Structure 1
């Protein structure tokens, strides 16, 4: 989803692969503090009712744990669940839980809390991500440390989704103030939130796992990418967690005071179409728009050539990735012909952009290229996150938009009739369902079919895969090379 990726996705960095080092051998620094510069501030701290990737970026894996998580390679590994088994019919999971975890309000974590958290996704969550829990038939605590989850049908996707925000474990007595006072079992506890400025997390000294190195981490938010860069240059922050002006990296490269990390993410920058609008019911219009976009020129212009062209909703880190850039190559003559044949030449489309640097800069290129093909484009800027989430994500009040979807494996979640893309394709859903129910080989085969179907049907246009670009003081260790989850794992960092 946009990162939102759940969102549901907006530019979010996740700490999954070690970049400059690991904090494993470091002792916690009692008074050590770290300040991380980011761009997209959360609209709320409650990801059960509010979409957007900025919330799990800050809280998932830091304040909240799940039963399982992803390691640096994307493998599902234990977290609050020490181990698990799957029944022969592939419908019943039995989890053995740790016995020493506590919530930051002092309550012990037990299997009852896991049952509560799973059931609450089904009954109390209001974001579209809750649909991933619909496959659960029952969740039962068979002891304080044993949980049994039975699915209505085999699902490859369910356990993977439990590594995302829907798998976060909550205390039964700690959900009254999630928007302002989150309570979890993680290595950090919520400290304070100065809206429009920063979120402070404090080390949880009662954490059941390895204690994090930094006693305090401040997430400092910047709307201006130049101000973000200057904050590192001036020593105000220690880490730029999301580089928004790649052309400015030259001021850090070759400077011994800093380290520059460049890797990959699963953040697909999407030129999304509102497929419920009459103009987009015509395949020729959708294909014409895709043919009108010179993706290499766009990437060079609005993101300094950094990132990867992929042509689909599948990043290279997923097992079913295929390079589909050849499905819709740049061809302005073809674009003009398709749009003219569809009677769309001269039509005005409203491109509603979030106030995020990459969306703003890429939006200008998209406008220029589409107008060269015969369309008219009206750009609206919507404050992010609140205004964009309401107008575009919630109400689908747009024709075109640009957003980075950073939730992992979100193809089926993003392209359906209920989500803001309003894309209703039974054939696509059949491929996704077959992938979920089948064995590993079937999953790969069917997901490749789904990705190709999306690309050939031009359900949207995939501008590029956003890179993981981080700049930090040279002595900060444990930074991620790649970002393939929703979380920025602060517990890995040290000096």
Structure 2
């Protein structure tokens, strides 16, 4: 039997051998002098993810420039980031995080427990911070720096969603010296640092040469926005960009079946939702809502608009959530049943305004849905609204619509239906209680069971039309590696991406 001492010697010998081999490998530890260009569909309207809910901001900055205590990996699981480990007490109300003592902001300032407390306190206190981020931190009763590298959070009640939120935008740890200029000069602790932003065009990041952890091997990354999906595809074919973050014209995907490119197909958290304004009197009638959904051939819609790409869903749950189950046939395509329900509803004739954003999937989906609803006797008027500003103001802020179509890309956003003030104005007490109970659940199994019941309510109640799940269709140049196949968070994570010099 080998002694403990000889085992330690063998471990050291293997480690030394690995170092020697690494040192002998040409360029194995050298950064690559290549600035990759990532094509995106939407341009950010600010650089501050705490005050603007534009998904394009965390797409470029989360995990790349800004870091959190925990990180959502490519499979949707939580992993350590600024915190090396964390623990929770038996009643799930006290969380203790051990910070990495070497963690630094790009400015050189230390990421300490006091800084973490101040960053989260800003989310809670600053009136300019988005209400949705404040609500994610609402369970916190108190927090304190136990010592320089240990931070403790005490929750007023158990909250499983709170820990997940700490790995997202609400949990970003900001450099306290830069809080006054975050809208134009983001400052974090990530492997990239902000270089420049040309509004409506591009965000340029460069390598953080003083990164505290395992740094990126890239010289940097540029997120370049294209309002025209075909123009982005043409730029890829011409070699002008290195990555398409998500193909916005999947009908054209076949043109990348070429040795010059790699196609990655995975899942996102982006549920394309035919949203109902439950303040509209006719849409308060369950039979009308069910009729609308029975009238829509969602498989045909997806095939027509999105080239058959993307999972059909029946509720606000993607397959990366542990409580996912297939509810896509709860209200199946059945135009005859739709006509029957309309006749039974007593609401005929039904006339609705469908106000949609200028996003790649929305106009085609609106045309298809309008035609199908007309076949069962529902008349629809379509308005296209500039995205994000006009659509957000008219639809999300003013609730000036009857129906809309938009992809909700936030993780685990089924809880939005538990907030009657949210722009859908869906108000179901049983659903709200299930969401609350699931958040305080004592075990994973209990949480999953409660969330499945909640998801089923949304499907049965026709709370919205859950059309299909946006697929993650990424195209890279063949020599680019390390891009996640799935997109379980808002981040387009470039931290492990590699590419040889041009």
TM-score w.r.t. the length of structure 2 is 0.91
Aligned residue number for residue 21 of structure 1 = none
The counterpart of 2:130, out of the listed 111, 126, 129, is 126
Secondary structure of 1:170's aligned partner: coil
Q: Deviations over 1:402-461 (max 9, x none)?
A: 111111111012442121111111100111111111121110000000000011011101
Secondary structure of 1:119's aligned partner: helix
Aligned residue number for residue 174 of structure 1 = 178
- Residues 95-494 of structure 1: pairs in structure 2 closer than 5 A: 95-124=97-126, 125-253=129-257, 255-438=258-441, 439-494=443-498
Secondary structure of 2:216's aligned partner: coil
Shift of 1:49: 1.5
Structure 2: runs of 5 or more not aligned:
1-26
The counterpart of 1:38, out of the listed 24, 30, 40, is 40
Q: Distance in 1 between matches of 2:419 and 2:287?
A: 20
* Preserved CA contact (<8 Å) 2:114 2:148: yes
* Preserved CA contact (<8 Å) 2:53 2:130: no
Q: 1:33 to 1:414 in 2, by over 3 A?
A: farther
Q: Deviations over 1:198-238 (max 9, x none)?
A: 11011111111111121121111001111010000111111
Shift of 1:145: 0.5
Shift of 1:128: 2.1
Structure 1: runs of 5 or more not aligned:
1-24
Shift of 1:164: 1.2
Shift of 1:190: 1.0
Secondary structure of 1:466's aligned partner: strand
* Preserved CA contact (<8 Å) 1:49 1:127: no
TM-score w.r.t. the length of structure 1 is 0.92
* Preserved CA contact (<8 Å) 2:45 2:200: no
Aligned residue number for residue 54 of structure 2 = 52
Q: Distance in 1 between matches of 2:46 and 2:282?
A: 35
* Preserved CA contact (<8 Å) 2:73 2:488: no
Secondary structure of 1:279's aligned partner: helix
* Preserved CA contact (<8 Å) 1:434 1:442: no
Aligned residue number for residue 9 of structure 2 = none
Q: 1:390 to 1:106 in 2, by over 3 A?
A: farther
Secondary structure of 1:47's aligned partner: coil
Q: Distance in 1 between matches of 2:484 and 2:132?
A: 28
Shift of 1:27: 4.0
* Preserved CA contact (<8 Å) 1:84 1:95: yes
Aligned residue number for residue 73 of structure 2 = 71
Q: Deviations over 1:171-201 (max 9, x none)?
A: 2222111111111111111111111111101
Aligned residue number for residue 4 of structure 1 = none
* Preserved CA contact (<8 Å) 2:480 2:498: yes
Secondary structure of 1:370's aligned partner: helix
Secondary structure of 2:240's aligned partner: coil
Shift of 1:72: 2.7
The structure that is helix-richer by fraction is 2
Q: Distance in 1 between matches of 2:30 and 2:132?
A: 39
Aligned residue number for residue 8 of structure 2 = none
Structure of larger gyration radius:
2
Secondary structure of 2:108's aligned partner: coil
Q: Distance in 1 between matches of 2:217 and 2:358?
A: 34
Q: 1:294 to 1:415 in 2, by over 3 A?
A: farther
Q: Deviations over 1:231-284 (max 9, x none)?
A: 00111111111101111011111x111111111112111111111221211111
Q: Deviations over 1:87-114 (max 9, x none)?
A: 1221001111011222223322111111
Between 1 and 2, higher relative CO (CA 8 Å, sep ≥ 6) is seen in: 1
Q: Deviations over 1:39-84 (max 9, x none)?
A: 0111212121211211111111011100011223222111111111
Q: Distance in 2 between matches of 1:404 and 1:139?
A: 35
* Preserved CA contact (<8 Å) 1:311 1:323: yes
Greater shift, 119-128 or 86-95, is seen at: 119-128
The counterpart of 1:86, out of the listed 79, 85, 88, is 88
Secondary structure of 1:77's aligned partner: strand
